[in-house]
Structure 1
């Protein structure tokens, strides 16, 4: 509780104005109230959103009563009379905010209008809901003002919380188009290529890599043929030579060590493949590029064209 109260004080000092991604928010207050009982009937010119950490009570909004308890989230819209009643007391987290329209784009103004028009202002959240985790993380982090990235993390987390709160009270977008949750071939290929790049010292047999990604070897072969225009073995060999050339130019590692780091079974085999691809031996290549500042190829793949 004490940490949350300290966090509230820091937030009100450090996170009163939030501007990101085309939106600017004025935060009128961040609130933490461990023992909240009754309020009189009142209204705000801005939005207020409350979350119940503990306790039970009633929320009366525009004449309608709602039961509130642990993990309840509720919204007070601008210029709507409302009040909270509780005999046993509530532990509340709350925030009052408004969009600065002059500094925000049309998309955000439309989102805020949707929240103002929404009919469901009272929600029951799961205990580990993103809103709960963000809010708690924000309060905890706001007390760590001795950290190097304190301000950046604070502002990003605060903005993320406000955006998530707005999204929660926006009506869902109706669409007849099914959502594709499957990974596309290009996405899968990109992931496989990263894996290969990070594991060039290994054998990288087709069957092993395919098994790692729970696909067949035939499917993996087709991915490289259609996406890279070369078969799997050629792609692997090109990646090994590319990495070897980079190491020859930028490090003083021995040719034997470079051969091992790039997955060649022997220095002899490495030298033969390297020479076939680039037209000179690894030793001669290193001599040509002893001074790294003399690199003249435009990108890492230019030397592969020979």
Structure 2
């Protein structure tokens, strides 16, 4: 069976891309794959699942749900979890209106059993039962925060700096690490969630573009988050991590820098500059201007003012 045709058929309705990074489900028993897309409408994620396979999802951006008749798994940004189809159907959905990015490791039952031979007693009981073919219900594992180690390996893989056959070896090692991280009892109870790929930079840049176009008006975090396709809380954390400042501070700086430009040109007085960049209170504008520029707007350098000052006897 051609994996590329199966996967591309499953993801053909999304406005993004599916890409096999390494391996091959039918040829190697494992496959490492990347999905990057904006989900514009309700999407059935389960169409990409394979029979007799255990899939580990390293979920960087977006929200996904995998569920059966008796259990449910929610993937949030920065989490990793697993699921497997048994004799009963497994369902999955991706949230509409979000930018999603995740990497999946798909293991065939036989390949994973071979890799984990001798370690069965330390596996989570449902995983052990699935590997032995003794489980009727679909297998759904609780999501965990992506560990710093797995995040670092994935960043290296997605950097594109590997060549064959080193890419295959590195990807196989990453696939084993992902299995070790979620199929056994965790060693760490609390691991920080953090983004792992250059895709998060695209989210922040898109947010910056929106802010630059709308900074003179009132900007709601909810509207900004919807525009870039992530949750408001995730965008706030991501923006602060990437820029070193909050979204409100970034907007403040945009406004003051634009006001300073208007004053420097000499075409606007202080009141006009304040109103032009979205401030309705002159006193508050002056206070913020002093904080950002280090001086009051009334004495900020203006070419016309300097000329007038020099011409005064």
Tell me whether the two structures share a fold, i.e. TM-score over 0.5.
no
Normalised by the length of structure 1, the TM-score is 0.35
- Computing the radius of gyration over CA atoms, which structure comes out larger, 1 or 2? 1
